Amino acid sequence: MAFTYDYPHPAVTTDIAVFSIIEDALHVALIERAADPFKGSWALPGGFVNMDEDLIDGARRELAEEAGVTPDQLDGLPFMQIGAYGRPGRDPRERVITVAFLTLVPMDRVKLVASTDAAKAEWFTMDDLPPLAFDHADILTSAREALSKLVSTTLTEEAKAVFSFLPQEFTLSQAQTMFETIQGQPLEKRNFRKWIQTHWDLEDLKKKTQGGRHRPAALYALNGLSKQS
Amino acid sequence: MAFTYDYPHPAVTTDIAVFSIIEDALHVALIERAADPFKGSWALPGGFVNMDEDLIDGARRELAEEAGVTPDQLDGLPFMQIGAYGRPGRDPRERVITVAFLTLVPMDRVKLVASTDAAKAEWFTMDDLPPLAFDHADILTSAREALSKLVSTTLTEEAKAVFSFLPQEFTLSQAQTMFETIQGQPLEKRNFRKWIQTHWDLEDLKKKTQGGRHRPAALYALNGLSKQS
DNA sequence: CCAAAAGTGTTGGAACTACACCCATGA
DNA sequence: TCATGGGTGTAGTTCCAACACTTTTGG
């Protein structure tokens, strides 16, 4: 079947930078392309947008299809638009404009499975990335910057997203490690604890971790943003 | 001539929110659509992207074509990408994904002329907007937010863009009025002057305005960002 | 001399930084 | 009892907000 237009149309894709924190290091999910162009290269998961779906839904679907993330794993995860990339020639096949998204997946539920279009799907440390297909290195750089900005600038509803990295019940030390990993710099423990408790509305679950051979830690959950800006 | 593809392709457009400050009020340039859909409605200038041009160049070209802004008027102006809008059904003709841009034009050199596709081109105060075609009201809201964020958050190279509103040589009072207009709130004079002089690298031109029937004001020019964050 | 905008310092509060020791648990 | 991470307060500094009067010019 063919589709005909009076004027030339570009193709439109979505690409998704899926971040997670694994062993205290920021990781991103990449797939190895099973088809040309860039067959064998690593790339961000993504693909063509269907005509009847919104951009963000296309991103979700492609992520499910290519990295084998099941829809319920994506449920409730924040998808943030980073921008559109449309340099002519960025795809050797035809004019392709891509809309890039960013998402964060929890430290715990994480499973990548190669499937359609992808030979493999794996986590890579941000410090040790392979060469990427298309202009995905640029996109990933912007995604990394957007992520940092989420925690460094003023508190917004969006910034809540960073807590997706944590399990629902978390300790302040886990939270601290997450912020340190995202910002790429160590934070002072007492100051961090003061800061997070004044800026975020944390619920004290009155529970403690158990099992470590050290003092148990109090568990918290995120309620929402604190009232004062 | 017809263009045929194996899979359906959406159309891709750019839309541009052109802001200026006129008589101390934030204005945006709108065109009255000369053709369906939304014939007779006001809309952001914009149009289809050519296959061989980058998104930002498409935005520049469309702005020139539709609002009669000459290329040299656009020279050196910052174009900032706001995001992609692709809700299915946002254009009644076919699937259209638009990439929205934001630009700022100086208080002085400003000329809008209706031309191709546009019955009229006019400046509107942001406080008194007509109903807009497509989802342009949403886009304009985001653009307005992006503009505010430019001045309210930390200093970046991007934030320099706000100085496009000012003539090359400006007084601190003009600068203050501009910041007030963008943020929509009055600023305290002494604090503002201290702030701008510590945060921006202003060159004192050792010149004064003349002609007002009041004390002459010192003229400044923007050099760049100050070293300290 | 009057109107109109330009210019100029100080003080209090809030927010952030730096810093070192004791506690609870499991092995 | 020791190793491991959890938990706590204070003092100095920096940054921001509030606030009112004098200066220079043209008419």
Given A149, A164, A197, the domain boundary residue is A149
- The closest CB to that of A6, out of B2, B10, B88, belongs to B2
Q: Where are the beta strands (DSSP E) in chain A?
A: 3-5, 11-22, 25-33, 42-43, 46-48, 79-85, 96-104, 118-125, 200-208, 218-225
Which residue on chain A is closest to B50 by alpha carbon?
Answer: A8
Contact B54 A4 (CB under 8 A): no
Q: What are phi and psi of B160, to 5 degrees?
A: -50, -30
- The closest CB to that of B8, out of A3, A83, A95, belongs to A3
Which residue on chain B is closest to A155 by alpha carbon?
Answer: B153
Angle between helices A172-183 and A189-199 in degrees, nearest 10 = 100
Query: Which pair of structure tokens corresponds to residue A149?
Result: 């900005």
Contact A6 B3 (CB under 8 A): yes
User: Domain residues for A197?
Assistant: 152-226
Please check whether residues A190 and A134 belong to one and the same domain: no
Q: Please tell me the predicted confidence (pLDDT) of residue B67.
A: 84
Nearest 5°: the CA angle A213, A214, A216 is: 110
CATH code: domain of residue A96 = 3.90.79.10
Mean residue pLDDT of chain A comes to 90
B22 occurs within a structural domain = yes
Which residue ranges of chain B lie beneath pLDDT 70? 108-116, 118, 153-154, 225-229
**Any CB–CB contact under 8 A between B128 and chain A?**
no
Integer angstrom CA distances of residue A77 from A72, A109, A206, B15, B153: 10, 12, 26, 29, 26
pLDDT, tens only, A100-133: 999 998 876 666 666 667 678 899 999 999 999 9
Instruction: Tell if A206 CB is < 7 Å from nucleic strand D.
Output: no
Please check whether residues A113 and A211 belong to one and the same domain: no
Q: Please tell me the predicted confidence (pLDDT) of residue B227.
A: 44
Q: What are phi and psi of B183, to 5 degrees?
A: -80, -15
A134 occurs within a structural domain = yes
Q: What are phi and psi of A173, to 5 degrees?
A: -65, -40
Highest mean pLDDT pick, A150-154, A207-211, B9-13, B19-23: B9-13
Q: Confidence class of residue A154 from pLDDT cuts 50, 70 and 90?
A: low
Given B117, B149, B181, the domain boundary residue is B149
**Any CB–CB contact under 8 A between A155 and chain B?**
no
Q: Please tell me the predicted confidence (pLDDT) of residue A227.
A: 44
Q: Please tell me the predicted confidence (pLDDT) of residue A108.
A: 66
Please check whether residues B159 and B75 belong to one and the same domain: no
Query: Which pair of structure tokens corresponds to residue A33?
Result: 């392309």
> Structurally, how many domains does chain B consist of?
2
Please check whether residues A23 and A84 belong to one and the same domain: yes
CATH code: domain of residue A184 = 1.10.10.10
Q: Distance from CA of residue A25 to its chain's centroid? A: 14
Which bases of chain D come closer than 7 Å to a protein CB?
Answer: 3-10, 16-20, 23-27
Q: Confidence class of residue A153 from pLDDT cuts 50, 70 and 90?
A: low
Could you tell me how many residues make up chain B? 229
From CA A71, how far away is CA A88, in angstroms rounded? 33
Nearest 5°: the CA angle B212, B214, B219 is: 65
Instruction: Tell if B71 CB is < 7 Å from nucleic strand C.
Output: no
Could you give the 3-state DSSP secondary structure of residue B197?
A: helix
CA distance B16 to chain A (A): 14
Please check whether residues A122 and A160 belong to one and the same domain: no
Please check whether residues B60 and B165 belong to one and the same domain: no
pLDDT, tens only, B9-28: 999 999 999 999 998 999 99
